[in-house]
Amino acid sequence: MVVGHVTPNSARVWGRGDAENRVMFVKATGPDGKSREESVQLSAEDGYTGVAQLDSLQPSTQYDLEVAYAASTEAPARSLSRRGAVKTFPTEAQPCTFLLNSCNFHGWGPFRSNREADLRRAEVARGVDLVIHAGDQVYADKAPFSFTLEDFRKAYVRTWGQPGTQQVLAGQANYMLADDHEVVNGYAQDGQLTGMQRAALWLRGHGGPREEQYQRLAQNGLRAFDEFQSAHGPKSYGENARYYHFSHGVHQFFAMDTRFERHNGKREMVSEGQLQALFQWMSEHRDQPKFIITSSPFVLEKKDAEEKWSSPEFSGQRERILDFMAQNKMEKVVFLCGDIHASAHASMQITGKDGHELVVHELCASPINGTLMRSRSQFLGESQGTTPGGTSYKIELNEDSFLGGTTLDTSNSAVMKIHLDGSRLNYQIYRTRTGDQQPARQGGFTI
């Protein structure tokens, strides 16, 4: 069960049945005891997954949810799968608390087991208004290496079946965007498998020409992502777009698809259509706090910038975004990201050709459960540059916020709880693989 996109008057609830339970029933019960129920027909073609749309709900109201399954709408017996809850979003300005997390590695059996981190994340998430999953919700390319559609589906079932993950997904609104491990490490439209990966697939009977083999794997990974993640999210730009926007009161969010539109040869992390959608969204909400969710960090820079916004192949699009913000004096922007196996707060001072200055912030939270960590020495503390359009920028890492580690020490695996009250933002970084109850790092700023 996953509680997906929520508005003041609606909620999307995802579930998965099986061949014996082809109908999903979702019931929402409000504080007045009144209930409403929706049913959804499930099919083998979609892996028996489906989404129920609950409408005519009341704003800022807590609803208890119950998901059950049966062979048909007339079947007398139902099997109860999950109970959950959702609070609808407000129609006016209200404080908002959300969890930012990414990189949910399931572990290799007892090695790097995710159980402790999984349960700790659920504990930290208790009571938040929404959870932002900034990529790598599953590691479909790890233990085992997924290739067929059924392989990818099993990766989701394995990871999302963990007790803590079930609590998080069923407890409030969840918003998800992809990174590479939903398909394969380093995924891009024009990517390719390594020799070892190709050999492993050949041994399993999944051979073929290099490009054909890669495209078959990618097609299955993207389809599983749509079934398990995209299906319950907003459809702001049509059924085929995996980027979207949503709002909680006055706080506006734009979730970018920086992975499935990525093309290394074209030097594009996102399509032109997505870039224009982002620009239009920022313009429409210029006076409100704006949060741009991107799996890869936009502000913070690694010394090895491969695959990041600051890398040579993608810096052109990054510079276009900086030019747009400078030329349009786009204030009140915060980037949210994961991916880097470290958590931190960084800021960027942007100066336009006319001398106007603005500051954007970035918060990164990664990983929930890691196989390795990134140390402070792998990131730039300060950097600066100028775009071809004449926009200059200076980046600074908040040293007090950084939480990383040595390669094999994953004790600093973490999630970030963020509290918004108007234009004031406070954050707390909680470790997930230790017994710490207090935040390991915390800070705040005015947007």
CB of 343 within 8 A of CB of 366? yes
- Mean pLDDT per 10-residue run, the chain (447 residues)? 98 97 97 96 97 98 97 87 95 97 83 83 97 97 91 95 96 98 97 94 94 97 98 96 97 98 97 98 97 97 94 97 98 97 98 98 95 92 98 98 86 95 96 91 97
Q: What is the pLDDT of residue 436?
A: 86
Quick one: what percent of the chain has pLDDT higher than 90? 90
Q: What is the pLDDT of residue 406?
A: 79
Pairing relationship of beta strands 414-421 and 96-101 according to DSSP bridges:
antiparallel
In the chain, what are the domains?
Answer: 1-91 (2.60.40.380), 93-446 (3.60.21.70)
Q: What is the pLDDT of residue 106?
A: 83
Q: What is the pLDDT of residue 75?
A: 87
Cα→Cα distances 267→215, 303, 338, 423, Å:
19, 19, 21, 35
Nearest to 69 by CA among 144, 18, 141, 123: 18
Q: What is the pLDDT of residue 435?
A: 81
Q: What is the pLDDT of residue 110?
A: 62
Q: What is the pLDDT of residue 111?
A: 63
Q: What is the pLDDT of residue 434?
A: 87
